[in-house]
Amino acid sequence: MRLNQFLAHHLGWSRRQADQLIAAGQVKVNQKLARLGTRVNLTDQVEIYRQGCWLDIKQVTIEKLLFYKPIFCFSNPEARVFNKKTIKNFLPRNFQDFYPVYKLAYMTEGLLLLGRNRLICKSLKNELAASPKRFLLATKNRFPEVVDLSWMQNLEQLNEFVQVELTAFTDWIEFSYLKLNPQHYWYWVTGRGLTDRMIINFSLDFGLQRLICVEVGPYRLTIDLYQQKWLFVRQLSD
């Protein structure tokens, strides 16, 4: 692949930014300064110049933030709605430049993944595109034994069909910290290509009470995240 594409994938940059770095003489391939249009293989050593030294791209860290989005809060930090809060109202000052990798609806709470900038978010979003998601759903009325989800499974997103599974929730002890109301009917909703908006749409007729994002790909909700509200993660670039 082209070097600018390789850099964009690993660092979450645009190809234009990668080209600017290459043109400035700040990229090496196999210990030689790279040129625009250079092609690389996965076995090649790629280095970038940062803070006065050359770093192998595999040593460059991607900064992420795991955040527990509260209910009735916009996941879009730039939302401007009078008397309504966004995630910026809950993030520490040094994390105000983080952006959500995916969106959760205003009434949805739970796990939200954020990246240091929009380009990192785009890269992480691409990685999660085919990953399964898992939600805890509470309704006022019980779902029938057989729920018709065929309309969701026929929706096409990211060139893959949505796959959805609805099962009864039984893990009360594990998730006791979420203060789940036992008077509601609780379910697991899992699937690929699934969004919380889809779940909201098919749950409204059953008296939707609460929707919690618990798992997205390799990222999971924990009691530490719930109590601290955010966890900072530094991960080496793949």
Of 28, 44, 59, the residue at which a domain comes to its end is 59
Among 14, 44, 59, the domain boundary falls at: 59
Are residue 55 and residue 140 in the same domain, yes or no? no
User: Residue 203 has what pLDDT?
Assistant: 94
Examine the domain organization and report whether 69 and 166 are in the same domain: yes
Residues 116 and 104 in one domain: yes
pLDDT tens digits, one per residue of 159-185: 456 778 999 999 999 999 999 999 999
**Whole-number pLDDT of residue 105:** 97
Residues (pLDDT < 50) of the chain are: 157-159
Q: Are residues 28 and 83 in the same domain?
A: no
Q: How many domains does the chain have?
A: 2
Same domain membership, residue 151 and residue 93 = yes
The answer to whether 68 touches 230, Cβ cutoff 8 Å, is: yes
How many residues can be counted in the chain? Answer: 238
Q: Report the pLDDT value the prediction gives residue 227, as an integer from 0 to 100.
A: 95
Is 133 in the same domain as 215? yes
CATH number at residue 37: 3.10.290.10
In which domain, by residue range, is 18 found?
3-59
Res 158: pLDDT:
44
What's the pLDDT score for residue 164? 86
Which CATH number characterizes residue 169's domain?
3.30.2350.10
Residue 124 has a pLDDT of: 84
Same domain, 128 and 215: yes
104 backbone dihedrals φ, ψ, rounded to 5°: -120, 145
Structure tokens at 158: 């990211």
d(CA 143, CA 166): 10
DSSP letters, 127-152, are HHTT-EEEEEEEESSPPPSS---HHH
Q: Give the pLDDT confidence score for residue 159 in this predicted structure.
A: 45
- Please answer whether residues 110 and 212 qualify as being in contact, where contact means their C-beta atoms are separated by less than 8 angstroms: yes
Contact between residue 210 and residue 189 where contact means Cβ atoms under 8 Å apart: no
Q: Same structural domain for residues 119 and 179?
A: yes
How far does CA 205 lie from the centroid of its chain?
A: 28
Q: Judge if 117 and 161 occupy the same domain.
A: yes
User: Bridge-partner residues for 56, per DSSP?
Assistant: 47
Q: What angle do CA 150, 172, 139 make, to 5 degrees?
A: 40
Residue 21 host element (H or E): helix 15-23
What is the pLDDT, as a whole number, of residue 235?
61
14/92 same-domain check = no
